[in-house]
């Protein structure tokens, strides 16, 4: 085992993008790469990550809040996020453990805000409330043509033995997913210091290497540690 690098502090990394672009796969691979350097790290997801946030996840993804409208759903996602930040993310970062989250606040901005039409003022207010100062140190946006991603999601459903794919957001029309993709790219353009866009239409291994490059470029202390 390599000696753990001397990092200044634990980092908070988020993965974002549309459905089926490979976020969960890459979150697991990044976690394994950090563990290989003996770095304490956990993975989590949104919506979810804590029992209360998982309860909100089930409620939304089963479609029970669909008729409430995108604004109310943005509030629900933010409520789940507030619990996730205060109960899991912040305590782990404080304890020196890196946190990698499969989706975070950019998903609310992209799905409910830029695609769902929720007013930017509400989205920004919810971010201030739920993040409590915990803006990610790095956000990796996996980008690909939604048509190709759809095929992956369909395959995943077959692998999982499901007759039909998807929660309620996966069922939206292709045009909606194209606007979602543009939304994530706009977020990246507006936050160049935080976000890195990586094309997801490459093999899992190649993508893993591209993610690792991006992480090491942002946190060069990782490489210094591994060469020690
Ligand atoms: N780079 C890749 N190339 C081809 N298929 C992939 C790739 N990454 C993931 N997959 C497959 O695509 C499906 C969706 O991947 P997943 O990581 O769950 O995406 P997401 O979390 O973004 O929805 C899974 O069946 C997974 O095995
Ligand atoms: C975190 C978050 C997720 N979502 C949506 C995105 C996904 O469709 C769904 C989460 O389901 P999930 O199964 O985790 O999707 P994926 O495998 O594509 O990551 O919730 C929002 O609409 N707003 C949010 O703030």
pLDDT, tens digit, 9 for 90 and up, residues 38-60: 999 999 999 999 999 999 999 99
Average pLDDT over residues 110-129: 97
Q: Over the stretch 21-32, which tens digit does the pLDDT of each residue have?
A: 999 999 999 999
- Give 195's pLDDT tier (boundaries 50, 70, 90): very high
113 annotated among ligand-binding-site residues = no
pLDDT at 228: 39
pLDDT at 218: 97
Does the model's ipTM exceed the 0.90 cut? yes
Q: Is the pLDDT of residue 3 over 60?
A: no
Q: Are 82 and 139 in contact (CB under 8 A)?
A: no
Distance CA 11, CA 201 (A): 27
The continuous run of DSSP H or E covering 215 comes out as: helix 204-218
Q: State the distance from the centre of ligand 2 to the C-alpha of 139, rounded, in angstroms.
A: 16
Distance CA 164, CA 166 (A): 7
Distance CA 53, CA 131 (A): 14
The answer to whether the CB of 106 is under 6 A from ligand 2 is: no
Q: State the distance from the centre of ligand 1 to the C-alpha of 177, rounded, in angstroms.
A: 16
pTM of the entire structure?
A: 0.94
pLDDT at 227: 46
24 annotated among ligand-binding-site residues = yes
pLDDT at 165: 61
State the residue for tokens 């995108």: 70
Distance CA 136, CA 110 (A): 16
State the residue for tokens 């992480």: 215
- Give 168's pLDDT tier (boundaries 50, 70, 90): low
- Report which bound ligand comes closest to the CA of 24: 1
Q: Are 46 and 84 in contact (CB under 8 A)?
A: yes
Q: Over the stretch 81-93, which tens digit does the pLDDT of each residue have?
A: 999 999 999 999 9
20 annotated among ligand-binding-site residues = yes
Length of the chain measured in residues: 228
Q: State the distance from the centre of ligand 2 to the C-alpha of 224, rounded, in angstroms.
A: 35
Distance CA 60, CA 167 (A): 9
Lowest mean pLDDT among 66-70, 106-110, 224-228: 224-228
Average pLDDT over residues 66-86: 97
State the residue for tokens 């008729």: 67
Q: Can you tell me whether residue 112 is helix, strand or coil?
A: helix
What is the fold of 12-227?
Answer: Rossmann fold (3.40.50)
b/e string for 167-179 if b means 16 or more Cβ within 10 A?
eebbebeeeebeb
How do the domains of the chain map onto residue ranges? 12-227
The token pair at 199 is 């094309």
Q: Over the stretch 211-228, which tens digit does the pLDDT of each residue have?
A: 999 999 999 999 886 543
pLDDT at 154: 86
């Amino acid at each position: 085992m390599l000696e753990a690098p001397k990092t200044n502090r634990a980092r908070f990394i988020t993965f974002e993008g549309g459905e089926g672009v490979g976020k969960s796969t890459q979150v697991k691979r990044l976690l394994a790469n950090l563990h290989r350097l003996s770095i304490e790290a956990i993975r989590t997801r949104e919506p979810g990550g804590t029992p209360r946030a998982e309860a909100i996840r089930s409620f939304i993804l089963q479609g029970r809040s669909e008729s409430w409208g995108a604004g109310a759903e943005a509030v629900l996602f933010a409520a789940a996020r507030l619990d996730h930040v205060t109960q899991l993310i912040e305590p782990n970062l404080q304890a020196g453990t890196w946190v990698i989250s499969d989706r975070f606040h950019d998903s609310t901005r992209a799905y409910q805000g830029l695609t769902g039409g929720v007013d930017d003022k509400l989205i920004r207010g919810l971010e201030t409330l739920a993040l409590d100062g915990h803006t990610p140190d790095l956000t990796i946006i996996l980008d690909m043509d939604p048509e190709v991603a759809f095929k992956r999601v369909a395959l995943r459903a077959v692998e999982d033995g499901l007759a039909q794919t998807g929660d309620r957001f996966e069922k939206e029309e292709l045009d909606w997913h194209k606007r979602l993709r543009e939304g994530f790219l706009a977020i990246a353009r507006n936050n160049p210091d935080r976000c890195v866009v990586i094309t997801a239409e490459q093999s899992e291994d190649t993508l893993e290497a591209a993610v690792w490059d991006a992480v090491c470029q942002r946190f060069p202390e990782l490489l210094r540690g591994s060469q020690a």
